[in-house]
Structure 1
Amino acid sequence: MKCRRVYFISGLAADERVFRHIRLPEGVEMVHLNWITPKKDESLPDYAMRLSEKIDASEPFALVGLSFGGMLATEIAKRFRPVQTVLISSIPLSAHLPKYFRAAAAIRLHKVIPIGFVKMMARSKRFFTRETGEDKKLILQIIQDSDTHFIRWAMHAILTWKNEELPEQLMHIHGTRDEVLPGRLTTPTHMIPKAGHLLVMTEPKKVNNLLAEVVGN
């Protein structure tokens, strides 16, 4: 089934700028579901439902979620049943979280670790990734602009997320060198060789070709 609108949800500590290289076929609208302020102790599914209020479900649509955004997309898909749910560098089931995530949750590390340290590590990592110089600068700016309180909430939401239901129409794009959410721990439908977590920026042509399949063009 063709759709004329695709909703995008970015990853943690990121925004719509990470999709700067994504191009949909002519006539297909790209709509970003930008972050809203989470409520105190709000769960990931509850936040997803509030974020989904921006979706026009009166006509067929597709849903794309990057990393943390893919977890939200999975929850939204339970309610709206999009034509296709596309996860990029993400996981559809909470059981696919790496064990070290669960170890961090067990000792409540996410509650005490300074978010400034988290940002510093994210910035340092850019020296070892494959993005272009221009994209690296953009990513550094995105990290700098990210909201500390949102990151703290999202870390807790991820570590306490419970989901055992796969979206009905699922395309799952993952890189073989994803170091954040390793592909071997989940069940992607499409593996991109040598791509890391931010393949949406390093392998945009491959992602665009797959998205073109989703919208039926």
Structure 2
Amino acid sequence: MTKIHLYFVPGLAASKEIFKNIVLPIDQYEVHIIEWLIPEKKESLTSYAQRMAAFVTEENAVLVGVSFGGVVVQEMSKFLELQKLIIISSVKSKQELPKRFTVAKVTMAYKLLPTSIVSSVGDLTKFAIGPRSKKRLRLYNEYLSIKDKDYLDWAIEKMVNWNRNEVDTEVYHIHGDFDAVFPIKNIKNANILEGGTHIMILNKGSKVSKMLQNIIENH
């Protein structure tokens, strides 16, 4: 039996360990995790996505991105022939971004975020998953492994300034109705996980796994 090759891209600054609770049948799936590259100086998102796409070496693969990784995989897909493109806890266009991102873009407030010191404390985690729960902050902070200032500055700028207008109709979207970073009120045409937060990849891994498998096998 030919296995389905599944490539994952994690959330902003997160390590591959964020996928530890995603469990799929090992006789059907071969899982690959693409870890973050350090961007070149002033590198465009398109150029970065092309470099990341080079890690997808299997034909007819499924590509999955979480949060900012969901934005990156949509850009990567321009350089790939995929079986499926799936995003989790992410957005499909700038229209789905929350107002605070728009304000940050207009005021360029994101440039004031002191990533050189933020990377070791909770502020970056709050940016990555929202401000609401101390328990969730602690949980997600365990998986924030990318502390490189150039990467963090670059990633935050690219997330805030993502300018896609047209939604790619080929994208499958899994989203939680309690996501504090990308509120459900802005999200259209998604597979909704009830009670899912922005870190449901960690704390609702079995349910996310089932939703992934359903999309891959039945759509």
Give the TM-score band, short-chain normalised: 0.7 to 0.9
- Conserved in 1, the CA contact under 8 Å of 2:178 and 2:196? yes
How far is 1:129 from its partner?
A: 5.6
How far is 1:66 from its partner?
A: 0.2
How far is 1:26 from its partner?
A: 2.2
Match of 2:42 in 1: 41
Match of 1:160 in 2: 161
- Conserved in 1, the CA contact under 8 Å of 2:132 and 2:180? no
Query: SS state of the match for residue 69, structure 1?
Result: helix
Distance (whole Å) between structure 2 residues aligned to residue 193 and residue 47 of structure 1: 33
Deviates more, 1:39-48 or 1:173-182: 39-48
Distance (whole Å) between structure 2 residues aligned to residue 161 and residue 23 of structure 1: 31
Query: SS state of the match for residue 152, structure 1?
Result: helix
1:84 is the counterpart of 2:89: no
How far is 1:203 from its partner?
A: 1.1
1:97 is the counterpart of 2:106: no
Match of 1:143 in 2: 144
Q: Structure 1 residue aligned with 2:122, among 120, 123, 126?
A: 120
Deviates more, 1:161-170 or 1:30-39: 161-170
Which blocks of at least 5 consecutive residues in structure 1 are unaligned? none
How far is 1:130 from its partner?
A: 6.0
Q: Pairwise mapping of residues 154-193 of structure 1 onto structure 2 (< 5 A)? A: 154-193=155-194
TM-score (ref. length: structure 1): 0.86
Match of 1:56 in 2: 57
Distance (whole Å) between structure 2 residues aligned to residue 212 and residue 105 of structure 1: 36
1:108 is the counterpart of 2:108: yes
Q: Deviations over 1:94-114 (max 9, x none)?
A: 222112112112222111221
Distance (whole Å) between structure 2 residues aligned to residue 95 and residue 13 of structure 1: 24
Q: Deviations over 1:165-194 (max 9, x none)?
A: 433432211111101111211214211112
Query: SS state of the match for residue 159, structure 2?
Result: helix
Identity of aligned residues (%): 27
Q: How many residues align?
A: 211
- Conserved in 2, the CA contact under 8 Å of 1:3 and 1:61? no
Q: Deviations over 1:62-87 (max 9, x none)?
A: 01100000001111223324111111
- Conserved in 1, the CA contact under 8 Å of 2:19 and 2:202? yes
User: What is the CA RMSD across the aligned residues, in angstroms?
Assistant: 2.5
Which blocks of at least 5 consecutive residues in structure 2 are unaligned? none
TM-score (ref. length: structure 2): 0.85
Letter of the structure 1 residue corresponding to residue 21 of structure 2: H
Q: Which has the higher contact order (CA 8 A, sep 6+)?
A: 1
- Conserved in 2, the CA contact under 8 Å of 1:175 and 1:183? yes
Query: SS state of the match for residue 85, structure 1?
Result: strand
Letter of the structure 2 residue corresponding to residue 16 of structure 1: K
Distance (whole Å) between structure 2 residues aligned to residue 81 and residue 93 of structure 1: 21
